[in-house]
């Protein structure tokens, strides 16, 4: 067995940018000319996942010449590239081994995930055959992503291969990397073969691919581990005496759990903005913690010169909020403006006065404040071409504590899948070296400031309680009765569950945002808007009594 060098190309590919993705692959092959084998992620050629683009005949027509161009460019090394492959009327999720204009081997994915954010059975046909190719005396088995999460595909390779290549597009969620390491150690223990696990790294709509690729030896030890949310290449030398990670530019400070989430949010914003052709972003900076965190993320993602923060005070906005917003904008060096919504609100109320005469002020007037701010932000967006970032969090979105066409307006929502308690953790993380977010923004009770002396907990349970109920009901599918049995107050549980269920219509109209938790609102959780199932749950929990909508 000849000593060889293998390179893990943990890179950021764009869905649909077939020629540009091919250019990236070719330039990487040239840069890594000293490497014998260069391995790219799952569906690298098209980006993951092309969704219904895969139904288009012209996608395959555009893809095949680029695949050939990569094969022609792979002169000094082998290119292991993920791509869709049509065979007759069937479409496979495939990986090809390319060299000097030829396909040396091709493998079709066996296990197609159809759960959570994945819809692969909508597009692809599963195969059942293993694939092993030989190079310089090495017998190398091929697997694709979901294959590695099941024992059967790798078991086919146990007696045929010396080591395994698994290409992946595995999206991030909290603690996902530890799950992957555990699964790889299970597979290694079963077959006693090393695994080269190469993951995609980049943002794609509501998914973030965090990289964190791994080379695991046959005894389960980690030979090389690539950074979290940082596209780069890492080479490994394979010799009879063992496997060794070579020096690389893949350097990153060690991140804790909260740091990984923050880095994923930064990558999500950066890629969504740039891949969709925007040059800058715009957001409403209220002096509260959600918009403060969103501003920090946007600045780290794009740079201060690409971020515009707008404070839009009203009669209920505290001077503390005005001062804190201005202080953070100065600290970060972003463009900052103040526009009072008082004239806009008064004009709207004057027009509505004949129709609202004799009514008592309520949520109508509160929502009108939020919608006045939304109108101003969208006007600035239209004029400047900047993307509006929505600043709401998962807890608020879950229970509908947000205003359609108001604070929900925007093209991307970075905190959409970030529960409120994690917002606090992330804000403290932002301030780990210096005070970026004013400390009293983190310390004071959250408030929408839409009414005098208003606090979020006037309308909602404490966020420590709210987030736990949301997690149990939304992410873990617990029944309300089980949540109550776990020690939560019956009234809190029934109110929160009801709010979650009746606000599905709001969430359907919310801006897209990156998945961070085990189940997000979007691809992960697809509930009907019109549904009476909550009445069934209420009957079960309240012994025949339920509240009409």
pLDDT digits (tens, 9 = 90+) for 531-541: 988 888 777 77
Regarding whether 280 and 169 lie in a shared domain, the answer is no
**Can 131 be counted among the known catalytic residues?**
no
Residue 146 — very low, low, confident or very high, per pLDDT cuts 50/70/90? Answer: very high
Q: Is the same domain home to 177 and 244? A: yes
Residue 431: give its domain's CATH number. 3.40.50.620
> Residue 276 domain-assigned?
yes
Tokens of 290: 């959600």
User: Does the annotation place 367 within a ligand binding site?
Assistant: yes
Any bridge partners for residue 87, and if so which?
90
DSSP structure class, residue 211: B
In a domain, 100, yes or no: yes
pTM equals 0.95
* Residue (of 197, 207, 205, 247) closest to 229 by Cα position: 207
Closest Cα to residue 414, out of 302, 272, 522, 307?
Answer: 272
pLDDT at 547 over 70: no
57, two tokens: 């005949």
What local confidence, expressed as pLDDT, does residue 456 receive?
Answer: 73
Q: What angle in degrees, to the nearest 10, is found between the helix axes of 420-430 and 463-470?
A: 120
Q: Tokens standing for 56?
A: 């288009």
pLDDT for 55 equals 95
Q: H-helix or E-strand containing 244? A: strand 242-245
How far apart CA 86 and CA 98 sit, in angstroms, is 17
If pLDDT is split at 50, 70 and 90, which confidence band does 543 have? Answer: low
Q: Residue 27 sits in a domain of what CATH number?
A: 3.60.110.10
292 and 198 belong to one structural domain? no
pLDDT greater than 80 at residue 358: yes
Do 271 and 290 belong together in one domain? yes
Q: Which two tokens stand for residue 331?
A: 């600290």
Measure Cα distances from 530 to 400, 503, 519, 525 in Å. Answer: 16, 11, 21, 15
46 in a structural domain = yes
Is residue 544 in some structural domain?
Answer: no
Q: Is 303 annotated among the ligand-binding residues?
A: no
190 shares its domain with 314: no
Domain boundary among 433, 458, 483: 458
Summarize pLDDT for 185-244 with one digit per residue, the tens.
999 999 999 999 999 999 999 999 999 999 999 999 999 999 999 999 999 999 988 999
Q: Out of 424, 443, 458, pick the residue that ends a domain.
A: 458
The answer to whether 481 is annotated as binding is no
The H or E element that residue 245 is part of is: strand 242-245
**Rounded to an integer, what distance in angstroms lies between the CA atom of residue 196 and that of residue 72?**
25
Predicted confidence (pLDDT) at residue 37 exceeds the cutoff of 60: yes
* Token duo for residue 297: 């993320």
Instruction: Tell whether 396 is in a known binding site.
Output: yes
The percent helix, strand, coil of the chain (3-state, each to 5) is: 40, 20, 40
Is 176 marked as a binding-site residue? yes
pLDDT of residue 536: 82
Spatial distance between the Cα atoms of 391 and 51, rounded to a whole number of angstroms:
27
The answer to whether 42 is a known catalytic residue is yes
Q: Examine residue 481 and state whether it is found in any structural domain, yes or no.
A: no
Q: Could you tell me the residue range of the domain that residue 365 belongs to?
A: 258-458
Backbone angles phi and psi of 412, in degrees to 5: -150, 140
3-state secondary structure of 192: coil
In a domain, 463, yes or no: no
| Residue 286 annotated as binding site | yes
Per-residue pLDDT averaged across 372-377, rounded? 97
pLDDT attached to residue 453: 75
Catalytic residue (choose from 131, 145, 201, 232):
145
- Mark whether 283 and 356 lie in a shared domain: yes
Q: Is there a binding annotation on residue 115?
A: yes
Mean residue pLDDT of the chain comes to 94
Task: Please choose, from the candidates 130, 138, 128, the residue with its C-alpha nearest in 3D space to the C-alpha of residue 166.
Answer: 130
506 assigned ligand-binding residue = yes
**pLDDT (mean) for 169-177:** 96
Residue 203 lies in a domain: yes
221, β-bridge pairs: none
- φ, ψ (nearest 5 deg) of residue 353: -50, -45
Q: Is there a binding annotation on residue 285? A: yes
262 and 245 both lie in a single domain:
no
Segment 493-514 shows an average pLDDT of 96
Last residue of a domain, one of 250, 268, 285: 250
Known binding residue 392? Answer is no
Domain match, 355 and 235 both: no
243 plus 266 within the same structural domain: no
- Tens of pLDDT, residue by residue over 38-90, are 999 999 999 999 999 999 999 989 999 999 999 999 999 999 999 999 999 99
**Whose CA is closest to 447, among 341, 324, 334?**
324
Catalytic site includes residue 545: no
Residue 89, CA atoms < 13 Å, CB-side half-sphere: 0
Assess whether 382 and 341 both reside in one domain: yes
- Local structure of 162: helix, strand or coil: coil
> Over 50: is that where the pLDDT of 302 sits?
yes
Does 417 show up as a binding residue in the annotation? no
Assign 549 a pLDDT band (cuts: 50, 70, 90): very low
318 labeled binding residue: no
293 and 397 together in one domain: yes
Whether residue 206 sits in one domain with residue 324: no
Within 395-526, strands assigned E span: none
Instruction: Please tell me the total count of domains within the chain.
Output: 2
The pLDDT assigned to 546 comes to 38
For the cut 90, the answer to whether the pLDDT of residue 479 exceeds it is: yes
- Which residue among 109, 275, 394, 515 is the active-site one? 109
């Amino acid at each position: 067995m000849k000593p060889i060098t293998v390179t893990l190309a943990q890179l950021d590919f764009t869905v649909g940018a077939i020629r540009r993705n091919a250019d990236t692959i070719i330039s990487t092959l040239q840069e890594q000319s000293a490497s014998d084998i260069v391995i790219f992620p799952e569906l690298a050629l098209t980006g993951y996942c092309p969704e219904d683009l895969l139904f288009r005949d012209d996608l395959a027509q555009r893809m095949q010449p680029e695949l050939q161009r990569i094969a022609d460019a792979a002169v000094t090394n082998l290119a292991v590239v993920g791509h869709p492959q049509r065979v007759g009327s069937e479409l496979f999720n495939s990986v090809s081994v390319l060299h000097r204009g030829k396909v040396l081997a091709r493998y079709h994915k066996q296990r197609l995930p159809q759960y959570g954010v994945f819809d692969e059975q909508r597009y692809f046909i599963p195969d059942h055959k293993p694939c092993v190719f030989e190079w310089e005396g090495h017998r190398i088995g091929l697997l694709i992503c979901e294959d590695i999460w099941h024992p059967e595909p790798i078991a086919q390779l146990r007696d045929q291969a010396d080591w395994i290549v698994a290409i992946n597009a595995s999206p991030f969620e909290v603690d996902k990397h530890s799950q992957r390491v555990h699964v790889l150690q299970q597979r290694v223990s079963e077959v006693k073969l090393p695994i080269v696990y190469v993951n995609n790294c980049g943002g794609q709509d509501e998914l973030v691919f965090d990289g964190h690729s791994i080379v695991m030896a046959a005894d389960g030890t980690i030979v090389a581990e690539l950074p979290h949310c940082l596209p780069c290449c890492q080479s490994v030398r394979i010799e009879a005496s063992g496997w060794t990670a070579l020096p690389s530019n893949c350097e990153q400070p060690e991140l804790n759990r909260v740091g990984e989430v923050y880095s994923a949010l930064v990558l999500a914003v950066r890629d969504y903005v740039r891949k969709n052709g925007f040059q800058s972003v715009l957001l409403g900076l209220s002096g509260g913690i959600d918009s403060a965190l969103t501003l920090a993320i946007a600045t780290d993602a794009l740079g201060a010169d690409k971020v515009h923060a707008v404070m839009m005070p009203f009669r209920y906005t505290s001077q503390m909020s005005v001062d804190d917003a201005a202080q953070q904008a100065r600290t970060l060096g972003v463009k900052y403006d103040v526009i009072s919504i008082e004239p806009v609100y008064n004009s709207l109320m004057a027009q509505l006065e004949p129709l609202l005469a004799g009514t008592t002020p309520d949520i109508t007037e509160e929502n009108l404040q939020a919608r006045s701010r939304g109108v101003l932000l969208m006007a600035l967006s239209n004029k400047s071409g900047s993307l509006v970032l929505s600043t709401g969090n998962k807890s608020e979105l879950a229970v509908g504590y947000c205003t359609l066409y108001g604070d929900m307006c925007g093209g991307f929502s970075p905190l959409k899948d970030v529960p409120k308690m994690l917002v606090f953790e992330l804000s403290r993380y932002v301030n780990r070296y210096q005070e970026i977010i004013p400390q009293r923004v983190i310390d004071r009770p959250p408030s929408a400031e839409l009414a005098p002396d208003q606090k979020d907990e006037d309308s909602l349970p404490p966020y420590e309680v709210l987030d736990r109920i949301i997690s149990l009901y939304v992410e873990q599918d617990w029944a309300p009765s089980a949540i109550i049995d776990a020690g939560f107050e019956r009234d809190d549980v029934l109110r929160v569950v009801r709010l979650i269920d009746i606000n599905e219509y709001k969430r359907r109209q919310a801006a897209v945002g990156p998945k961070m938790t085990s189940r997000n609102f979007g691809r992960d959780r697809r509930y009907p808007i019109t549904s009476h199932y909550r009445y069934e749950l209420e009957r079960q929990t309240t012994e025949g009594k339920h509240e009409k909508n």
